[in-house]
Amino acid sequence: MKTRMTEILGIKHPIMLAGMAFVSLPKLVAAVSNAGGMGMLNSVAYGTSQVRDVIKQVKSLTDKPFGINATLIFPNARENIEIALEEKVPIINYALGKGDWIIKAVHEYGGKVLATVAIERHARRAEMDGADALVVTGHEAAAHGADTGTLVLIPLIARQTKLPMIAAGGFCDGRGLAAALVLGADGISMGTRFMLTQECEMHEKAKELSLKATVEDTICSDKIDGLPGRWLKNPAAMKMAEGRPSILQALSSALRIKRMIDVPFFKLFLGGLKQRGVQDLARQALSLKGLKVAIDNGDLENGVLPMSQAIGLIKDLPTCKEVIERTVAEAKEWVRAVREKCIP
């Protein structure tokens, strides 16, 4: 299935893996790319001493295009992206920050840049800065998004920009891909769907529990990691959504992040305070700890998981290849069926 997304990124199918912390690891990234989609490596979980090796791992597993993403408000984001630039990663995806310096550097070696946006003014800014495409995130999405749902957000931004758009938020099958194309997007990004695949290295217990969730089993809160986002509605997430971390928790949490991603403590703590404040710094660290507990141990009593409303539509654990091929085949059928129902 050819679209502007497949043409600009050099891939076969208009489907992208969302770059999920501790989930979008080399094995999953390569599996999506090898199946004709766009694998997206997450950089948040790695220190600068690790990122280069992880990028090389992906390169050893696939010769197809892949990308790496960065949430620019994180303390290790710039350093990790600079390493990705040195490695000439084909696609860079940035979010929550100004990416003009990334765009300039990536274009110098012929790569492409995707800007993740959730509101229209950020879409216009990314186009002015020279981004090649947008990842447009609706309210249904896991983790970070704004208040506007995909059904409205995609056509709204399509009217504001000429850039190719990758729709994110609530997509998990061919019906969703077909709908995204009709709304004005050129493809879709899927996180929760790829999280529940055979190649994903998340703990099997977490997968089993996730498959039992319904569309009502998610919660939106800006208190779990300090940013508005959607999470699985489990005991840990509910507790974090109601809590108010202290300065002591911020300090201990900053130390925990330092050990996790190898960032100098003074940069981590002072930078976090400047950008987000004491409580949000603590929330960021506590959520990363909870995310790791859920993914590594399958502990959904004490851990937290970003979760799309699409979870209620997902009931199996296929391979990435099966997901992509099934999604594309279904989309073609739905587009054909809609055409047949239309009266000339």
| Residue 171 in this model has a pLDDT that exceeds 50 | yes
DSSP code of 133? E
What gap in Å lies between CA 192 and CA 168, rounded to an integer? Answer: 11
- In a shared domain, residues 66 and 185: yes
- In a shared domain, residues 21 and 139: yes
The CATH number linked to 113 is 3.20.20.70
- In a shared domain, residues 15 and 124: yes
pLDDT tens-digit profile of 72-109?
Answer: 877 778 889 999 999 999 999 999 888 999 999 999 99
Closest Cα to residue 115, out of 105, 220, 100? 100
- The whole-model pTM stands at 0.89
Amino acid at 244: R
206 assigned to some structural domain:
no
Confidence at residue 293, expressed as pLDDT on a 0 to 100 scale: 87
Confidence at residue 212, expressed as pLDDT on a 0 to 100 scale: 94
88 assigned to some structural domain:
yes
The label of the residue with tokens 């090389």 reads 56
Q: Over range 277-305, report the average pLDDT.
A: 78
330 assigned to some structural domain:
yes
210 assigned to some structural domain:
no
14 assigned to some structural domain:
yes
DSSP code of 63? S
Least confident of 35-44, 127-136, 214-223, 335-344: 335-344
Q: Could you list the residue range(s) of the whole structural domain that residue 10 is in?
A: 4-201+316-341
82 assigned to some structural domain:
yes
First-to-final CA distance of the chain: 25
Looking at the structure of the chain, the number of domains it has is: 2
Instruction: Name the pLDDT band for 285 (thresholds 50, 70, 90).
Output: low
- In a shared domain, residues 125 and 223: no
- In a shared domain, residues 142 and 272: no
- In a shared domain, residues 188 and 99: yes
- In a shared domain, residues 97 and 122: yes
Confidence at residue 58, expressed as pLDDT on a 0 to 100 scale: 97
Q: What is the 3-state secondary structure (H, E, C) of 19-86?
A: CCCCCCCHHHHHHHHHCCCEEEEECCCCCHHHHHHHHHHHHHHCCCCEEEEEECCCCCHHHHHHHHHH
- In a shared domain, residues 30 and 139: yes
Helix (H), strand (E) at residue 220: strand 218-221
Least confident of 30-34, 289-293, 331-335, 339-343: 339-343
pLDDT tens-digit profile of 64-81?
Answer: 999 999 888 777 788 899
- In a shared domain, residues 92 and 144: yes
- In a shared domain, residues 131 and 250: no
Confidence at residue 265, expressed as pLDDT on a 0 to 100 scale: 45
- In a shared domain, residues 154 and 256: no
To the nearest whole number, what is the mean pLDDT of the chain?
A: 88
Output the six-digit token pair for 27.
Answer: 């094995």
- In a shared domain, residues 105 and 247: no
pLDDT tens-digit profile of 174-221?
Answer: 999 999 999 999 999 999 999 999 999 999 999 999 999 999 999 998
